[in-house]
Amino acid sequence: MEELQDAIEDAQYVNAIAMVDEGPRPVLPWELPSEEALAEWKEKVRKRDNGENGAPEGFSFQWTVSYSLGLFLFSAYLKEKCDDYVRINFIEEVARWRGIRGRQKLEKARKIVSAYLTPRETDEETGDTTKPLKSEIDEHDLERQLPTFSKDEIQTLYDENFDLSTSKCCVGLDGPIRDALVETIAKARSKSSSATSASESAKTMSTIKEGISQNGSDNADAIEGDTSSNVDESSATDDRKSSSAPREGILQRTASRQLQAQHLPDDFFDKAEAVVAESLRQQYWEGFQESAECAKLNNFLWYKDRKTVEDDFFVMRVLGRGGFGLVTACKKGTSGKLYAMKVMNKKRIKIKKSEQLTLNERQSLAAVESPFVVNLKYSFQSKDDIFLILDLMTGGDLNFHLGQKGRFPKKECLYYAARIMLGLQALHDQGYVYRDLKPENCLLGDDGRVKITDLGLATKVTPTLHGAAGTRGYWAPEMLRRDKKGKRMPYGYSVDWFSFGCVVAEFISGTNPFRSEMALNFGLERGKKTKEKAIDCATLEMDPVFDPTKYSDDAADLCRRLLDKNEKTRLGANNCNEIMMHPWFREVNWEMIITDRKRPPFVPPKDVNAASQSEIGTFAEDKTFNETVLEEKDEEVYKDWDWINPKAFAAEVIEFLIYERETGEPLLPIQPPSSCCCVIS
């Protein structure tokens, strides 16, 4: 009977992940507040967001459109109810521009200026001035940056630069702000043309003189020049063409200098965008506040601030087992969004005295918002358990896929290593060291994107941080060292780069150098009596050997420098930039990786990609468990546990609203069970 139930849950899970691309499938209606509850909530928001320290006041124009959900609904109001889309489209395009990095940013700015800030052509048939094409917000995370100007400064800029009847552009800008933007872009276009011509001439001469073929440097969607297969780390010969490497580096540096010459400041559009936004505020804000869109926004934001409970989620298949409970796939009832639910029992945590570990995990997850780290969406608690709702990574972990493939081809090695490295740096940037990097903690999404997970051992770096943590064989040597008095030595971020070296070596060869037969024999030959002590001995003393049939020269050099036993000279000791510059990564287009636009080289099958539920098992409630009692002081530990990721909530709702917009119908026309619960429409 249990096997039948497991099979049913597996089928439901596979069906759910297979239908993700078809849109949200909610199973619960959104709860609506009563008038009294809404008024009480608004009063709390006004007290919380009272305009101190330059922040916008609650429910003001700037406060509203700085939220992705507020911008989405204000935009929908202008386009659907006011038939006025050009100015809000300009604001949306500027918001997108702010999220772009590298060479694409100048080209995007050119397009914005051309479409919105230069004179438009006249339609020969109607005699009307043409407009840019209307566009809708299709992203779940488009946010408007708050202006850095005061109200008085914005008003002055508006008075000096806005005239809706101007023929100079279609967004009403007519003054020094528009003129400066147009002139800057015109000059950049001229410089770019000259630089491109010179660059092409130089490349041609270089090719003639040196016979060098420049491969893929302009291909923005590739790990360039890689035609590798599964053999020999995808052919080591490419990495060994050292004669061309210096010239390639020079050309890359030249291209970088050209890009810097064309660089636009991050505040390039700030004044123009602030003026156009102010024009919309003056013309439409009062009407929006009385609109159905504004009411919908307030209802959703009230719902966000309500207490999250276990019944908000529907549990599907068990995916794994942690130290204190199970990890299951689940569905958010109101939005139909799929997540992973990590459940940790308060008694088991108390028995193992691991309260601080769980708090560290919750705090580090909430602190890091990165496409390279599994993100926290919700945290809440019940009487017996605490819950973490996380990204659902349905593609399995990299240890699972290593077991399937033996080792990864070079394209996958580069892609996984690049993303994992940026995930570690994202944690370091927030003051956390990860301490638990291994293939099992690197999860694939359904699209093949990898993220690091399980931040239970992540902790803030302090001058006295010490003690081995994580998995033996991935520990850095400084975790094991002791001073003359026998005390553990302190360590910092660099331990993660040693673990990273172990993982990269494992991707390339299929084996972690310090969890290998060679490492075991190294320790045993030196008198270590147990496997654990032998591995520790190898970690402290053994220099790994990198098989040339599996490692190219560059790959071996990268791993050797990452596995440097001196944490001060270890590659990465001065942050990930020095790793990114290593020749092994020369084929990686970092702009595409960092902006999360690089297409994964491998997409996992839409299957369970996890151990069977019988293998995962359950937790037995033994005598110790039953005799453990939770006291008031135990509950006090979790007083700040509850949390909602505002970006994740907004993404849920916007995905829901986009689906309704595209279908033209309410997504969930279910009759509410009571007067206070219904579909928000």
Tell me the catalytic residues. Answer: 436
Pair 390, 452: CB distance under 8 Å: no
Pair 438, 501: CB distance under 8 Å: no
Cβ count within 10 A of residue 151: 12
Query: How many separate helices (H) and strands (E) can be counted in the chain?
Result: 26, 10
Q: How far apart are CA 120 and CA 547, in angstroms?
A: 64
Pair 479, 495: CB distance under 8 Å: yes
Strand 432-433 to 450-452 pairing: unpaired
Q: How far apart are CA 13 and CA 327, in angstroms?
A: 14
* Residues near 580 by beta carbon (within 8 Å), at least 6 away in sequence: 421, 588, 590
Residue 203 annotated as lining a ligand binding site: no
Say which DSSP state 330 is in: E
Q: How far is CA 472 from the centre of its chain?
A: 28
Closest-CA residue to 576 (of 394, 358, 417): 417
Q: How far apart are CA 216 and CA 210, in angstroms?
A: 18
C-alpha pair distances (Å), 262 with each of 104, 259, 638: 11, 5, 51
Q: How far is CA 180 from the centre of its chain?
A: 35
Residue 396 Ramachandran class (φ > 0 left, ψ -120 to 50 alpha, else beta): left
* Residues near 666 by beta carbon (within 8 Å), at least 6 away in sequence: 660, 679, 681
Closest-CA residue to 544 (of 523, 518, 583): 518
Closest-CA residue to 546 (of 501, 480, 497, 580): 501
Task: Provide the annotated binding site.
Answer: 342
Q: Residues at the annotated binding site for ATP?
A: 342
